[in-house]
Amino acid sequence: MTKDLNGVNRRRNLGFFYDDAAARFPDKACIIDLFGGREHAVTYRQLDERMDAVARMLARLGVKPGERVAMLCGNRVEFIEFFFGAMRAGAIPVPLNTRLATDTLTYIFKDSDSVLALIDPSCNREAKAIALAVPLRRRLLLDEEADGFFSYERELAVPAPDVPPPPIADNAQAFQPYTSGSTGVPKGAIMTHHGMLWYLVHNQSHWPTPPDERGMVALPLFHKNALRGTVKPMLYAGASFVLMPGYEPRAYLQALAKYRCTYSRGVAAVFTTVLQHRDYLEGLDLSALKSMTIGSAVVTPELLDAVERALPGVKTSESYGLTEGGSPFRAPIDGRRVPRGSVGVLAPDIEVKLIDADGKVSDTLGELLIRSPYVCLGYHKQPEITRQKLQDGWLRTGDVFYRDSEGFYYFRSRVDDMFSCGGENIYPKEVENLLFMHEDVANVVVTPVPHAVKGYVPAALVVPRTGSAVTGAELKKYCLERGPLYAHPRHVEIVPELPLNGAGKIDRVAARAKLVSIYQTVAQAGG
């Protein structure tokens, strides 16, 4: 009876999602980890054993089912083994964006109520200091020795009893990624075991990944593009993937060729920089590469066409998805070609609707709402935002889509001012707040402007305080030193006043038009 119950609990736990693959291919390399400049191949059996060791360690250290464990970790196999191993013990991993500013990371650590943290000092220079500044029962450190931390490898090696798979309720939380809402305040999404397992079966049923596929992960593992798009489907199918510590164009291309990768995902910035190395491409054997998916940022049809011209035989496609709702649009099962500019048709077993500004359902244009088992249950300690974003299971995405007569969907814009810069979500208000902290800034407005590599980047109009001689370059440097690098304004224009609308409020449309014109002139001049 206990054995049967353990089997049921395993099947309901995302931490054991690739059990079948591990049973079929125990000695097959599932991950080729390139962290630290060396090649480390990990088999399904080895990965499975390491995840079990993580579960035993956490239980021995007193982490109880339902408690949260934070992860500030870069691209390395330890991220994957800890992420899923924690779930095997019933813990809820909280993967953190290593690129966030110190204040934001500190806020997330505290907001998550994590009791333990895995810290990778190579991923963020302030990682150890941040972990020491927040209340945690235990801190585990990779690679180094430091006061206030326990060695991850030593703790993992301490003998401990096996951990029976804990019971998993129907809506039990699996993990807690942090995303930003309309306020720009990070919020923890409550993602369930059931929803994540449903999504794996859903994808494999309709768009199966064969065991001989080999993916490439060069984007951060904390990003949905990597975990949902490559890691989980590849392991679930018994396939494999190469894990790079970070993206660098030539190293990325060399790895694609060396390891005979068949598939890769990325943001527009990845593929734009790849195209700048056409000379290097000519000397590589990329004949194994069959498809590439581009998403998480603005994708132009011209970029997709350019990649296919540079890589004959490779099919490119545009994707859409979000942390809390998954990817509702896919290529049609009936084989129809997806038009350039479209992210596909509605996937089976997922519901969507478009609503206009008055909340009425539209057949062609409006804010996208999604409903499926994948959709998060809500946001950690944010009941008001949960009520605003989730209604009767429908998730308001804040994204405006157009649907054509053939059922293909096209992303148009954000309902609010948020925009994606190279795959990172940026809220103008966050950048404005940072600029307002400068003593010489009297007023400011930040808007997105088109960028050849990132899709969009932030730019600012700033009204200085009377008598100030502050320059745009000084304010740009100020933001670089105090905020996340990807969110700094690429151009700051000093102006005597901001454009206002009839109600006396800042006219963001006029401000954006002005900044777009200024930034294009500066870019053309090489500034």
Considering only CA atoms, give the Rg of the chain.
23
Residue 78 has pLDDT above 80, yes or no: yes
Residue 502, pLDDT > 70, answer no
Q: What is the pLDDT of residue 403?
A: 97
> Distance between CA 421 and CA 423 in Å, rounded?
5
Q: How many CB atoms lie within 10 A of CB 437?
A: 11
pLDDT band at residue 3, thresholds of 50, 70 and 90? low
Amino acid at site 281: L
* The pLDDT value given to residue 527: 58
407 Rama sector, left if φ>0, alpha if ψ -120 to 50, beta otherwise: left
Tokens at 330, concatenated: 């896919």
Backbone angles phi, psi at 240, to 5 degrees: -145, 165
pLDDT at 357 over 90: no
Q: What is the pLDDT of residue 181?
A: 47
Q: Out of 2-11, 366-375, 382-391, pick the least confident.
A: 2-11
| Cα–Cα dist 229/218, whole Å | 12
Structure tokens of 206? Answer: 């309709």
Which residues 6+ apart lie within 8 Å of 350 measured at CB? 326, 328, 370, 371, 372, 374
Q: How far apart are CA 478 and CA 391, in angstroms?
A: 41
**pLDDT beyond 50 at 51:** yes
* Nearest residue to 394 (alpha-carbon basis) of 368, 360, 357, 415: 368
Q: Please, are residues 409 and 402 in contact by the beta-carbon 8 Å criterion?
A: yes
> Is residue 215 within 8 Å of 241, Cβ to Cβ?
yes
- More confident: 245 or 431: 245
Whether the CB-CB separation of 382 and 364 falls below 8 Å is answered with no
pLDDT score of 270 more than 80: no
Q: What CA–CA distance (Å, rounded) separates 106 from 83? A: 20
376 or 502: which carries more pLDDT confidence? 376
Q: Taking residues 264-282, what's their average pLDDT?
A: 81
End-to-end Cα distance, the chain? 71
* Kind and range of the H or E run holding 305: helix 301-310
Q: Each residue of 295-311: b (16+ CB within 10 Å) or e?
A: bbbbbbeebbebbeebb
Average pLDDT over all residues of the chain = 91
Q: Mind giving me the DSSP string for 308-338?
A: HHHSTT-EEEE---BTTTB--EE--TT-PPP
How many Å apart are CA 303 and CA 17, to the nearest integer? 35
439 confidence band (pLDDT: 50, 70, 90) = confident
Q: Are 68 and 94 in contact (CB under 8 A)?
A: yes
- All domains in the chain, ordered by first residue: 2-246 (3.40.50.980), 320-410 (2.30.38.10), 419-524 (3.30.300.30)
Supply angle C-alpha 126, 131, 137, rounded to 5. Answer: 170
Across the strands, what pairs with 352?
370
Q: What is the pLDDT of residue 295?
A: 76
At residue 34, the 3 state secondary structure works out as coil
Averaged over 396-413, what is the pLDDT?
Answer: 91
- Residue appearing with tokens 């500019």: 341
Do 333 and 342 touch, CB atoms closer than 8 A?
A: no
Distance (Å, whole) CA 51 – CA 22: 12
Higher pLDDT among residues 282 and 189, named by residue: 189
Does the pTM exceed 0.75?
yes
Least confident window among 20-29, 134-143, 292-301, 393-402: 292-301
Can you give the length of the chain in residues?
527
Q: Which helix (H) or strand (E) holds 226?
A: helix 224-226
Pick the closest to residue 458 from 488, 437, 495 (CA basis). Answer: 488
**Is a pLDDT exceeding 50 seen at residue 192?**
yes
pLDDT band at 298 (very low <50, low <70, confident <90, very high): low
What is the structure's pLDDT at 182? 41
Q: Which residue has better confidence, 502 or 55? A: 55
Confidence tier at 501 by pLDDT (50, 70, 90): low
Close Cβ partners of 289 (under 8 Å, ≥ 6 residues apart): 256, 261, 262, 263, 264, 311, 313, 314
Burial classification of residue 132, based on how many CB atoms lie within 10 Å of its CB (0-12 exposed, 13-18 middle, 19 or more buried) = middle
- Mean pLDDT check: name the lowest of 42-56, 141-155, 227-241, 500-514: 500-514
pLDDT value for 233: 97
Which of 50-59, 175-184, 262-271, 294-303 shows the lowest mean pLDDT across its residues? 294-303
Q: Which of 106-110, 152-156, 244-248, 464-468 has the lowest mean pLDDT?
A: 464-468
Q: H or E stretch including 112?
A: helix 102-112
Indicate the range of 147-151, 309-313, 382-386 predicted with least confidence.
Answer: 309-313
For residue 520 the two structure tokens come to: 């294009």
Task: Output the pLDDT for position 450.
Answer: 93
Tokens of 432: 């404005």
Those residues with Cβ within 8 angstroms of residue 508's Cβ, 6 or more apart along the chain or in another chain:
417, 445, 447
